[in-house]
Structure 1
Amino acid sequence: MAGRQVVVVGYEGAELVDIACVTTAFSLANRLGADPKYEVSLASLGGVDIRCETGLTLRAGVPVETVREIDTLVVSGGDGHRRAASGHELIRQIERLAGQARRVASVCTGASLLAAAGLLDGRRATTHWLYAAELAADYPDVLVDAAPIFIRDGNVATSGGVTASLDLTLAFIEEDHGAELARYVAIGMVTYLQRPGNQAQMSIFTTTPNPDNLVVRRALNEVLTHPEADLSTAALAAHAGVSTRQLTRLFQEHLGEPPGTTVRRVRLELAARLIATTELPVSRIAHQCGFGSAESFRQAFVARYGVSPRAFRATQTRSGALAH
């Protein structure tokens, strides 16, 4: 395949934002240099137009029955999810495509369609918190957890309500093309608000504000994309082309903390993400995130999260949160 084939499945009563967050993020990744590019299609049963729950109508690009090549399958949510989940043919097509896809995902109540296809049996999964009890009651073989923004269990991922799909899509982009491209996509979509939910499943690209000041932005970008580098205040100031005193003043003004505090926080959040989503040794994660030793990393991690890195990973492993 020339590109990564992404198929987003919609249906009558799908939520427009569930679809748009995914398609826009992948499209922006293409414009920012993703290689191979994402080839995104919106599919519906029979290729019919999708009347969203907002009343707007989307034109499906392809009939879901005709899709043959697929890398990533994303099933959207929306008020129409119950009716869609009871449709035998759509569920059969989702099951078929899931068997071919490298990874499968749902947005919000789209989890009910994956569950109806048997794709969540024995897996930990999430959905919009308002519908979590319903999902658990309807599909008792699914281990429903309403707290996280998204959960990855093997090659199947489920995300919480509506815009949580953006966090999940950013994680996919990071997995495919690296942290720097994912951050630029997040910046391009102005997703700088703090997200609720499990810290390890929060996107580092959205938890740090994108400051207006160019100097701070340049320094912060260096921190986010090169956490293993020399990120002392002096080194950051030199990178940004200002004095250490000026940089400290600007960080206080725009981020509310000195450079050293920002560096430590970002490194720990990146480390927590790696612990939760990879099987890399803790010592290697410590090195990649700029800590001088595994012990200094452990102490800093305990001070921030209240548990050791290994204990944190154990809870994530038991919950099925590790990425494949």
Structure 2
Amino acid sequence: MEGMMQEHDELQLQEAAEAGDPEASYQLADLLRKQGRHEEYEQWMRRAAEAGHYYALQALIHKTSERARSDPEAEIWAEHWYRRWDKLDAESRPAWYAQKHAPLVALAERMPEWVSRRTEEAERILLDLAEKGSSDAAESLAVKKQEKKEYKAAAEWFIRSHGSSSRTFLAQLKRDEGHQTAYTRLAREGFEPAKEVLRHLGTPSLRPPQAPGPGTTDVIVTAILTAAILPFIQTIASKAAESSYYATRNLILNLMHRGGNIQIERSAGRSAEICIIRDPKNGVTFEMKDDQFLSDEALDKLIETDLESLAAPDPSGKPVTIRWDDSKYMWVRHVK
């Protein structure tokens, strides 16, 4: 009986897919994948992706990018899907994915990992995007220049990336005393961008400076955004699956540093930044602490989790909060 139902579902999906329905093509591809029919799976997944289906594109980007680490032919397809993603109309992208040409920044981030090591081409892409105003591209360039110890260029790109949101750059800087010494020397020589780097290093974004000494309370900065929960976390999960953790972190941190209502609270305990996403329609809240959701474990588990069940509203209408549980190494639902 179950086999007959699956066959019926497949026939219905194939009829709709052949009529040009991208969602039907995607669903059909997923059904074929579960049946182990991989050639047919790729055929319909590509058809959905070419029609601009967001999650079909993410699936093919992830698959071809991984293959491209050892297969030059896969590089061609990976780049094709990244560029197809970039061509999606603004309305087709999630509302919070506001950074223009972010897919091309992700492409440039992946190119050096592929078998041909297209480092120079990747940097040219980033330069072009940064010149067009992409803060993501500017931060990526700042990080790469800092890794090469080209500190003047790194400082200039850091400033153009809007400074306070460039957490990857600052995290790298904090870990390396040699980097700090180089910027200090440039600042003493009067190089203004280096002074700006050191200023941001001393005052992390959104957190006001705190006077040292006993009894100092910590500052918790909360960015509260309003959005539909399920597509929000699906985007984060798909980004983590298809791209580097750098790009995923950058996406989430951009959310924390723009828009929303920023609230500053004082409490006993370690300071933190928290991004809270509230869905007013179904009473579900998604909480992300900066030192937890940025971990590899949290992102990996988000990819593996049944997101629809995780983000489902409570049947009785009680408030639901989703957060990462360090002790259980999993995302959990709390129903009040």
TM-score (norm 2): 0.28
Q: Would you tell me which structure has more helix in proportion to its own residues?
A: 2
Could you say which structure has the greater relative contact order, defined with CA pairs below 8 angstroms and 6 or more residues apart?
A: 1
Q: Which has the larger radius of gyration?
A: 2
TM-score (norm 1): 0.28
